[in-house]
Chains A and B, each alone.
Chain A
């Protein structure tokens, strides 16, 4: 038995040695893995993210790569399916021996592959929003979107200003919706806000007029917070306004794509939501440290893909650019690059100014969000 054990251990050690070989291919390129929900229910995230990452890598390579080394992207479409994300993560780490992984697009998938990346000692730069990704901190796992708890706090701060104390919470039955609803309920008492009604709907809901009628009958409700993705977030807005219910409607930072405003049309007017500054890049003062990054990304993306840039594509931008910066500083060494990301300070990304520390693998503070609203079909600062 003992003999068997030691043989097994030896074998395991040998395999580990095998896998810990150099991450870069022999021809001097650095392989970057990406697991993104290009199709499926979260394609509104994965679509812009994958396009952005491809665009940035193309650009880096056109400029001669990083320290003379070209980047090679291996993009896997998970369709927002956690099981697929797991097998892709294993494949990328064990077979492709990628240098680092960008993505996944959703929090649910990220949580499933967190440990795989830890064990594979491979840096993961997630585009998922949920706070649990980096809290507690995992050595190799980072994320670029602002924490959802900051979004909730920002909304509640605004409500305090507007003297709103009784609200209704609507959420889609996605990972995003559930996490948001949890945060909304947990943080509400801190701001003296009472959630008098909560409803969860299917993400494929086609009409929500009945639930709007039910909530509207409750005269206590002073505002509605909706935490979901398309198309439901536009449907909620339409059904509320059609019913003639004019309480303020707050949405999550998931509303940060002009397409949703177009989808909701006139009903989008006056929706209040927190988002990164990408959406109002044009109107930022020139001395804002993010101004250049935002304008460059927005112009490049819009020129190349003929569609408006969204904050989600921005998360992909931040992920790949933070990685590129770290590789530039530390060379093509996995451990050194990890340390470089952890110690990166004042990195101006699309989501905000990143200041990573060993305790904070997100690096953004609450100021990364600003409150916005929709006026005449455009995003403007909410004041």
Chain B
């Protein structure tokens, strides 16, 4: 393999990986505060993309993206308030079915609003055919945007959870909800906040990847499956691990193409998911003890 080809695969892998990672982080935020997997996570990505595409002709691109992220965040809050908030000690199964239902609902609504067509935001820099030369490989500038924005998301999130009182309160809820409530933290508000946060992050990711992957009303499902794989791979609840796992999976997928036919790409990632579930159910980077304390 030439260096050129190697770098080309590497960047393809990073592109896939970082997209998976951002979806996985969305899963993790909600999982951390509620202990559930929100299967509508992929739909937040779709909504972010679609709303920004609709707003783009009316205003400058950054404003359209900002507004799309805000609107999706509001939708996230609304969903939590309408469907989740009033449930008293819901079982894991019930929550899963509710979130799957929400994802179908959002998809159908999106189909009615935006139709079945494929849309995309314009490239932030350059156009469809521009590329930057990196070590002999050609990389679309948008890939650098995706990598950059996603890195900023991850960094800001870690800072948020470490240094702000609000982030600490959310973490407290995930560590022990009862104790957190006894300390005066409004756990219900923290859950709403976690939905808003993951909806907003998903939406932002949906905007930056839109020029590369396109946005269609049902594009969330595939992303959710890959994001879930990555979240499990890294260890549910751990955002940094999700980034590592996402990059690992993306790069593995990209390099697998060199040896296996492309058709096996998804089979490979699903095999990895199954292997992890059998051998290390707590994920590559998760701790076994912590996993045992959780109900799911």
Contact = CB atoms under 8 A, between A and B. Distances in A.
Nearest to B122: A265
A39 B58 CA distance: 28
B257 interface: yes
Contacts of B138: 242-244
Range of interface residues on A (Cβ < 8 Å): 35 or more
Contacts of B117: 44, 47, 259
Interface stretch (B12-20, B92-100, B170-178): B12-20
Interface string A196-207: 000111101011
A210 B254 contact: yes
Contacts of A39: 111, 116
B12 to A, nearest CB: 4
Contacts of B123: 265
B216 A231 contact: yes
Contacts of B266: 202
Contacts, number: 119
Interface stretch (A53-61, A211-219, A366-374): A211-219
A204 B261 contact: no
A265 B16 contact: no
Contact of B2 (A217, A235, A260): A217
A242 B130 contact: yes
Interface string B196-213: 000000000000010011
B128 A264 contact: yes
| A207, A209, A244, A265, most chain B CB atoms within 10 A | A209
B19 A43 contact: no
A260 B119 CA distance: 9
B120 interface: yes
Contacts of B209: 206
Given A213-B12, A266-B127, A47 B2 contact: no
A153 interface: no
Interface in A235-284: 235, 237-238, 241-244, 259-260, 263-268
B265 interface: yes
Interface of A, secondary structure class, is helix
Given A207-B212, A213-B8, A242-B140, A263 B131 contact: no
B5 interface: yes
Nearest to B223: A206
A222 interface: no
Nearest to B127: A266
Interface in A34-67: 38-41, 43-44, 46-47
Nearest to B142: A242
| B118, B123, B257, most chain A CB atoms within 10 A | B118
Given A204-B219, A231-B118, A210 B257 contact: yes
Interface of A: 38-41, 43-44, 46-47, 173, 199-202, 204, 206-207, 209-211, 213-214, 217, 230-231, 234-235, 237-238, 241-244, 259-260, 263-268
17 contacts: A39-B116, A47-B115, A47-B116, A202-B222, A204-B219, A210-B12, A211-B257, A213-B12, A217-B2, A230-B216, A234-B214, A241-B129, A242-B129, A242-B139, A243-B131, A265-B122, A267-B128
Given A201-B263, A230-B214, 15 more contacts: A44-B117, A47-B117, A199-B261, A201-B265, A206-B222, A207-B213, A230-B118, A230-B216, A231-B118, A238-B140, A263-B120, A265-B122, A265-B129, A266-B128, A266-B129
